[in-house]
Structure 1
Amino acid sequence: MATTASIDKEMLPQPALSTPYSEKDSQLWMAPTTLLTKSHLMTDVDGERSTLPLSAYCFMTGYIDAVCFSAVFVWCAFQTGNTVQLSLALARLFSGPVGQRDTSFHLADKQALTSVTTFIFGAFIGRIGDRMGSKTRAWLFLGTFIQALFTMSAALCAWKSGQGSVADSRGDPAWSNALTYVAIAFMSASMGLQGIMGKRVNTQFATTIVLTTVWCELMADPKLFQLKRRIISRDHKVIGIVALFIGGFAGRAILDKIGAAGALGVGTGIRFLISLWWLFVPGKAAKK
């Protein structure tokens, strides 16, 4: 019996162990021979090996927000601030004695409302991915390409508006005419779409646009100070934060050189490259 048991044990397949992170995550891109085939496009990407395009998403958050905030002091991606600003605008209607209350809808409040509503519209477009497959290469390519089109439209509107790119103070925004409202709308819609796409990939990068939660989770990570090991829950959060910071820096630097329209044109090109990159992200390994 002992002999039979030992033979059966040798014939059994080895347990299906997960590939160590250090080996699995080393391949961040692939060179497919059938790039445009349906099977390749409709395969889900591996979230743990989507580090590069998701980092680029975080970069674009800082980049686009730098352009918008420099012009009108409104965030296209960080809708918490815009939402609170609108609540303050409503509270202002009840401030002071009756007959002397400020009942006007300030320019900054109109711009914040434009950003919030179009951000929601962009996020709603992201639900298309639920039908195509939110993690498929096809949707990640198409959705990012739509972001590029939105950014290009914002660039054209900023260019045709004929207005400046940098505001002197909050009370004197650089943008005030109808075309600049449309530019804010397109930028915010692109961020809303990026946010839901980043969320659906379901990684440590979260939505790629709001980093308050990422900061809190990073500080609460029990392995935060294990510096000699690669910790995906920590490392990817750090990458996202750094990428957003660099994006904000680059956005303002380019803005100062070539203006808002030019900076958004550069952003369009970057987003187009990100859309192509999704086609080369490795897919999920088949479960054994």
Structure 2
Amino acid sequence: MRIFSRRYLSQTVDQRHGDIPLFVCCFTSGLLDSVSFNNWGVFVGMQTGNTVLLALSTASLPETQHHATATTLTSLGSFLLGAYLTFVISRWSGSLSRLFVMLSFCIQAALIAVAAALTTAGLVPEDRNGGGQELGNIRIVTALPPLAFHFGMQIATSRILGFNELPANVLTSTYADLVGDPKLFSFHWNPKRDRRIASVFLVLTGAISSAWMMKRGLNIYGQMWIGAGLKFLTAAGVWLFMDKDRGDTELGRKPNGEPMKKTGA
């Protein structure tokens, strides 16, 4: 079949639709970072927060987080390793080949599934009410490496796809770039502004969904299995629907769908 052929898998994916899988990543970021922070007092995607927590841990603060140094270093180190290896492999293999992008999302899904399986098996403690009862249990680091490594891969993939306005993991720069857009209130199509607004909405929606799942007493591995499923669906979408770029120049658009500047004769 065509979709299994080497030629099809080695094709360059259509970057014009590369923002769609990244929107899924935004929702997943809110879903999983809220779980991680509420249960274990550490982030797996937002590494700015971890850097601040690491600094506080040098003074044994907050006093309730006895393993803050270990958890933040584990998360930050795993994140950096995931991003680094993704960039290195992309340069070696052809960063926009269908196979590379598809496998990137498949591996991300598998890593979330590993964390979900560990939590489902009871190897990772839960604290759905966020009371801090489990922060003294060193086993809270167990699920951090696969989750943080996955987020490193995620943000690297967003850069490789060419959508720097969709980092998918954090919103600080997105907020600043959004309000700094001179066409913020324009009624005309403004792709970067619209993507930033969508990313804020999706991260917030993912986090709210996760919060209410925990509030209702659902086990946190539920959010992880949902995140893994979304990433597998994203990989399938890349495989089946992101066809090779066709006629971007003739369409007058860049690969990521933005208008190209016309040059005079």
TM-score by length of 2: 0.83
Distance 1:175 1:146 in 2: 31
Pair 1:80 & 2:57 matched: no
| More displaced 10-residue stretch of structure 1: 200-209 or 65-74 | 200-209
Distance 1:253 1:151 in 2: 20
Contact 1:63 1:250 in 2 (8 A): yes
Contact 1:69 1:75 in 2 (8 A): yes
Pair 1:41 & 2:1 matched: no
Match of 1:114 among 50, 74, 87: 74
Contact 1:194 1:208 in 2 (8 A): yes
Q: How does 1:63-78 map to 2 (within 5 A)?
A: 63-78=31-46
Contact 1:72 1:167 in 2 (8 A): no
Q: How does 1:261-280 map to 2 (within 5 A)?
A: 261-279=221-239, 280=241
| Alpha-carbon shift at residue 38 of structure 1 (Å) | 2.3
Distance 1:120 1:201 in 2: 19
The equivalent of 1:55 in structure 2 is 23
- Name the SS for the 1:259 alignment partner: coil
Residue 241 and residue 168 in structure 1: after superposition, are their counterparts in 2 closer, same or farther (change >3 A)? Answer: closer
Match of 2:195 among 236, 239, 258: 236
The equivalent of 2:260 in structure 1 is none
Amino acid at match of 1:49: H
| Alpha-carbon shift at residue 47 of structure 1 (Å) | 2.6
Pair 1:211 & 2:211 matched: no
RMSD: 2.4
Report how many aligned residue pairs link the two structures: 243
Distance 2:66 2:53 in 1: 11
Contact 1:74 1:82 in 2 (8 A): yes
Match of 2:126 among 164, 178, 189: 164
Distance 2:54 2:82 in 1: 20
Identity of paired residues, percent? 24
Distance 1:175 1:142 in 2: 37
Pair 1:260 & 2:220 matched: yes
The equivalent of 1:142 in structure 2 is 103
**Which one has a bigger Cα radius of gyration?**
1
- Name the SS for the 1:35 alignment partner: helix
> Per-residue CA shift, 1:107-165, capped at 9, x if unaligned?
12321111111111211231312222222221111011111111011011112226324
Pair 1:195 & 2:195 matched: no
Contact 1:135 1:201 in 2 (8 A): yes
Unaligned runs of 5+ in 2: 251-265
Distance 2:9 2:196 in 1: 28
The equivalent of 1:153 in structure 2 is 114
| Alpha-carbon shift at residue 257 of structure 1 (Å) | 4.5
Amino acid at match of 2:10: M
TM-score by length of 1: 0.77
Distance 1:133 1:251 in 2: 36
Distance 2:166 2:32 in 1: 18
| Alpha-carbon shift at residue 204 of structure 1 (Å) | 4.9
Distance 1:133 1:235 in 2: 29
Residue 182 and residue 283 in structure 1: after superposition, are their counterparts in 2 closer, same or farther (change >3 A)? Answer: same
